[in-house]
Amino acid sequence: MIEVIDLCKSFGNLQVLNNITETIHEGEKVVVIGPSGSGKSTFLRCLNCMEDPTSGSIIFEGEDLADMKVDINKHRQNIGMVFQQFNLFNNKTVLENITLAPVHLKKMTPEEAKEKGMELLRRVGLEDKADVYPSTLSGGQKQRAAIVRALAMNPKVILFDEPTSALDPEMVGEVLDVMKQLAAEGMTMVVVTHEMGFAREVADRILFMDGGQIAEQGTPEEVFGNPQHPRTKEFLSKVL
Amino acid sequence: MDFAGKFKVFWELFIERGGWERVLKVGLVNTLLIAVLGLLIGIVLGTLIAAVKVMPKYKLLPRILDKICTVYVGFFRGTPLVVQLLITYYVLWPLMGVTITSLNTSIIVFGLNSAAYVSEIMRGGLLSVDGGQMEAGRALGLSYGTTMLKIVIPQAIKNILPTLGNEFIALIKDTSVVSFIAAIDLTKTFTEIGNVRYEYFMPYLAMAVFYIILVFLISCGVKAMERSLRKSDRSH
Ligand SMILES: Nc1ncnc2c1ncn2[C@@H]1O[C@H](COP(=O)(O)OP(=O)(O)OP(=O)(O)O)[C@@H](O)[C@H]1O
Ligand SMILES: [Mg+2]
């Protein structure tokens, strides 16, 4: 689904991603873990070119997204993204947040988008919040609404960057539940998270990042049960 | 000084012979017209300039546009408004071979001038909007321009409404110079009343009071708007 080839990313002199080659398969749930500053967010953000790769390729639907000539906006319509800080549009109601892009990008008529938006909101238990502004929502509600906003575009894959890190502990569960439901429905997902329980339960594959590289990867059983790399062992001993 | 006599003359001209009517229907209307339309032009142009200012500057075109905007803002902030009015009306229009009324010229010049100031205000407003808003729009596949127009600019305008209110008050006060190009505003209509008897004491005193009341009323409006914005911030 997404093929990453020799991906490098530097900010000025700081090399953050160091020659990463990796493939995300259709329907796969990939969880990215690793210490702070190891490049997890940068890796994720390169997948939809929110950060432009310094070199290398991101092949998605037969095109190289790293190529500046590619219509990135078209491809981003198929790659959902969910942020740590939710980033709901403050000047739009919850439902408007969801319908804005599909309608503006002519993926749906306003009526279709509304219907679809309401249906998705019902699924995450937010149908009564359709007409309020995001600032009245709790963190957990905001994140569920943000997931719905991404889903409304019918993306082929969704990228999550620490979707529960900004939440009060009692709200983490409600967001993870929505993500588990998505996973069960077969959505392709790439998730950066510190929620090791979620990783263990949902991931098909864990990528452990360290120093801008994927230091180790495998099934949750392999990575959590029998880590090979000393850095993985060290990291896991701290977080588990 | 014969206050009673001066007052009697003014009363006669202003009330009995209907001078107030011209003050309100021509002077006040033109003053408001220049300030309101000037501010509107200023907001549209100023927003465009601000958008260029905050654009990422990797490519050549944004860099060129940025330079043009810098020169533009520098010119309008660096020369007196009266000079801009005179140059436009007596130099630029004849050079271009066009005839534009002094009122319309005033509106245009005030618009171009306030664009320079509004662009700075708006730039602050745009920068005050969290970067995550643009990211979320772009991640959905919306273009930079669409996200700017539908998401970032509306929030920026809300943040700077009080400051724009103050810019409006500044414009109202500045309009008093348009008589330099023979446009008829509030100031000019009071001068006309003075011209009848060459007696300016009362007309100018009344004029000052008129401006104070006008500005006071507008400030009250701006404050009320600020309050209601704060309230709506708290409620959501
Ligand atoms: N826009 C940027 N400009 C400069 N440096 C950056 C930028 N974004 C990230 N970095 C740097 O790149 C490195 C990797 O950052 P990244 O956010 O990808 O790490 P991370 O693994 O997501 O960490 P965390 O767990 O703290 O979110 C860090 O050293 C960071 O300071
Ligand atoms: Mg991160």
CB burial of residue B164 (10 Å; 0-12, 13-18, 19+)? buried
Q: Which two tokens stand for residue B181?
A: 């190009």
Which segments in chain A show pLDDT lower than 70? none
Q: Render A63-131 in DSSP notation, one character per residue.
A: EETTSTTS-HHHHHTTEEEE-TT----TTS-HHHHHHHHHHHTTSS-HHHHHHHHHHHHHHTT-GGGTT
Instruction: Indicate the residue of A80, A89, A136 with minimum beta-carbon distance to B236.
Output: A136
pTM of the predicted protein model: 0.86
Q: For helices B201-235 and B186-197, what crossing angle results, to 10°?
A: 160
Q: Which CATH code of 1.10.3720.10, 3.40.190.10, 1.20.120.1730, 3.90.650.10 fits the domain covering B21-186? A: 1.10.3720.10
Q: Give residue B132's pLDDT.
A: 97
By C-alpha distance, which of B41, B20, B59 is closest to B119? B41
Q: pLDDT of B190-224, one tens digit each?
A: 999 999 999 999 999 999 999 999 999 999 988 88
Cα(A144)–Cα(A176) distance, integer angstroms: 9
The answer to whether A147 and B139 are in contact (CB under 8 A) is no
Given a cut of 70, whether residue B97 has pLDDT beyond it is yes
A73 contacts in chain B (CB < 8 Å)? 138, 141-143
Residues of A with CB under 8 A from a CB of B: 48, 50, 73-77, 79-81, 83, 85-92, 100-101, 104-105, 132-136, 146, 149-150, 153
Please tell me the residue having the least CA distance from ligand 1 atom 18. A39
Residue B78 CA to chain centroid, in angstroms? 17
Three-state DSSP state, B147: helix
Instruction: Indicate the residue of B136, B141, B158 with minimum beta-carbon distance to A89.
Output: B136
The answer to whether A141 and A129 are in contact (CB under 8 A) is yes
Given a cut of 70, whether residue B98 has pLDDT beyond it is yes
Task: State the best of B58, B128, B140 to mutate against chain A, taking most chain A CBs within 10 Å.
Answer: B140
Q: Give residue A237's pLDDT.
A: 92
Nearest CA in chain A to B142: A73
Q: Give residue B232's pLDDT.
A: 62
* Mean pLDDT of chain B, nearest integer: 92
In the reported structure, the alpha carbon of residue B94 is separated from the centroid of ligand 2 by a whole-number distance in angstroms of 61
The more confident residue out of B173 and B58 is B173
3-state secondary structure B127-139: HHCCHHHHHHHHH
Ligand closest in space to the Cα of A32: 1
Categorize the per-residue pLDDT at B52 as very low, low, confident or very high, splitting at 50, 70 and 90: very high
Q: Give residue B231's pLDDT.
A: 67
Q: pLDDT of B67-85, one tens digit each?
A: 999 999 999 999 999 999 9
Given a cut of 80, whether residue B229 has pLDDT beyond it is no
Instruction: Indicate the residue of A85, A105, A136 with minimum beta-carbon distance to B141.
Output: A105
Given a cut of 80, whether residue B233 has pLDDT beyond it is no
List, as ranges, residues 111-170 from B with C-beta within 8 Å of A: 130, 132-133, 135-143, 146, 150-151, 154-155, 158
Complex ipTM over 0.85 = yes
Residue B73 CA to chain centroid, in angstroms? 15
Polymer length in residues for chain B = 236
In the reported structure, the alpha carbon of residue B65 is separated from the centroid of ligand 1 by a whole-number distance in angstroms of 31
Q: Closest ligand 1 atom, CA of A51?
A: 1
Contact B135 A149 (CB under 8 A): no
Categorize the per-residue pLDDT at B234 as very low, low, confident or very high, splitting at 50, 70 and 90: low
The pocket around ligand 1, CB under 6 angstroms, is made up of A 11, 14, 16, 34, 36-42
Contact status of B231 with chain A (Cβ, < 8 Å): no
Q: Give residue B236's pLDDT.
A: 46
Please tell me the residue having the least CA distance from ligand 1 atom 31. A37
Contact A149 B140 (CB under 8 A): yes
Contact B139 A136 (CB under 8 A): no
By C-alpha distance, which of B188, B178, B180 is closest to B111? B178
Residue spans per domain, chain B: 21-186
Alpha-helical regions (H) of chain A: 40-47, 72-76, 94-104, 110-123, 139-151, 169-184, 196-202, 220, 230-239
B136 contacts in chain A (CB < 8 Å)? 81, 83, 87-89, 146, 149
Nearest CA in chain B to A159: B139
Three-state DSSP state, B37: helix
CA distance B131 to chain A (A): 9
